[in-house]
Amino acid sequence: MSVLALTHATLLDCTGADPADDMTVVSDGERIVDITPSSKPLPASVTEVIDCAGRTVMPGLMDAHVHIGAVDVNILEQHRNYQTSHAALKMGAILTRTLSQGYTTVRDAGGCDAGFRDAIEQGVLQGPRLLVSNAPISMTGGHADFRRPTERGDSMACCSQVGMNALIADGPDEIRKAVRENLRTGANQIKVHASGGAMSPADELDTVQYTVEEMRTAVITAEAAGTYVLAHAYSPSAVRNAVAAGVRSIEHGNLIDEATAALLAEAGTYLVPTLSTYELLYRQGAEHGVPAANIEKIRLAHEAGLRALEYAYRAGVRIASGSDLLGPQFEYKHRELELKAEVMSAMDVLVATTRTNAELFGLADDLGTVEVGKLADLIVVDGRPWEDVGVFAKPGAIGSVVLGGKVMLRVN
């Protein structure tokens, strides 16, 4: 096994401690075995050294809301445009690029199946640790029902078999079966839709979709298998239903008010704001063929997003971090951190993107901070991100990426 030392680093461990200068992090195999001042001689067992030359070493970034299957910005139409093999190859390229951006763990919020996770774990494909939800679960006419109003039956059956495909289920019995099918095919967690959405053809942003009973069925079924449910929700009423059902995280939450933020804090439910996707879709969606009606819904979500984050931040909600970027817009992941930093401190944004995300995923024993015993998922950053998260937007900001003690990207 390789013994790796990252030397002369400014260490940002994301535990809440202040950064420490001139430190060395040593991993043996997959895990961190020592963190020490660089003045201490390296162990004789070290086989590889990265001299960080004062750059920041921190945990790999995490994204709690990606859609690897969204290979185009206009997800309303993409399933009609690609062969299954073509879509799969595009998804693989997105995963590899995501790792090079410094994201070592991502949670797919629907559309990416377990085959992509297995390909990464087997070394067939280079990418981050991948947690998949398989097919998101939607009611008929709900947020993940991409049929046009003129279409009948299962229009997705004739289209690409990978990408933004959903399971349509109505009522507790159908939902239970849909959850079990996702678990059978390897889902790490379950995604349901509690409200309407911006990128769907037949609902409004603030509509309430699944009932408490329906979502509670999903939660009970997932928990019986040792996992949890994340819920797409915008409006206060939809968020309240999801919290009452016992979901683990609320995705988006752009329309929440102060009372709903207080409820999230009291319940201990995680909030995963996804601000950058609305900004980029509002600016660029039309040129990618997104219909005007959807652009209007995107505008509403965009204008309310920062206010909702401020309510949650003040209330003490457990704020995680996701991006929800579609197609080529995933290149702008850094923008998510910059937008959150308009409300949160830079350090709190980094903690949300590392430690809190790991807690949300149930992986805090292994990931999210730089500590002895944890997996060596590390990035080397040129700059001081705890002062300015904008450093991630600079070309070449990510100098090296280490995944489980293995150097995946090395610039110096």
Q: How far apart are CA 169 and CA 364, in angstroms?
A: 33
**pLDDT score at 114:** 96
Parallel/antiparallel/unpaired status of strands 249-252 and 190-193: unpaired
Domain parsing of the chain, residue ranges: 3-60+369-410, 61-361
DSSP per residue over 75-127, as a string?
A: TTTGGGT--HHHHHHHHHHHHHHHHHTTEEEEEE-SS--HHHHHHHHTTSS--
**C-alpha to C-alpha distances, 283 to 11, 73, 234, 289, 351, nearest whole angstrom:** 37, 12, 21, 12, 29
How many Cβ atoms from other residues are within 10 Å of residue 226's Cβ?
8
Six-digit token pair at 1?
């096994």
Under the phi-then-psi rule, with left for phi > 0, alpha for psi from -120 to 50, and beta for the rest, what region is 316? left
**pLDDT score at 151:** 66
Q: Would you say the CATH fold of 61-361 matches that of 3-60+369-410?
A: no
**pLDDT score at 50:** 97
Q: How far apart are CA 103 and CA 94, in angstroms?
A: 12
Q: What is the dihedral of CA 40, 44, 50, 51, to 10 degrees?
A: 40
Q: How far apart are CA 296 and CA 279, in angstroms?
A: 12
Q: What is the pLDDT of residues 171-200, one digit of tens each?
A: 999 999 999 999 999 999 999 999 998 888
**pLDDT score at 409:** 83
Which residue's structure tokens are 């769907």? 200
Q: What is the pLDDT of residues 342-400, one digit of tens each?
A: 999 999 999 999 999 999 999 999 999 999 999 999 999 999 999 999 999 999 999 99
Q: Which residues of the chain have pLDDT under 50?
A: none
Contact 108, 188 (CB under 8 A): no
Residues in Cβ contact with 175 at an 8 Å cutoff, skipping those fewer than 6 apart: 137, 169, 192, 210, 214, 215, 217, 218, 221
> What residues form DSSP beta bridges with 251?
232, 272
Second-level CATH architecture of 3-60+369-410: Roll (2.30)
**pLDDT score at 1:** 73
Residue of 67, 3, 8, 54 whose CA lies nearest to 328: 67
**pLDDT score at 158:** 61
Contact 280, 329 (CB under 8 A): yes
Q: What is the pTM of this model?
A: 0.95
CATH topology of domain 61-361: TIM Barrel (3.20.20)
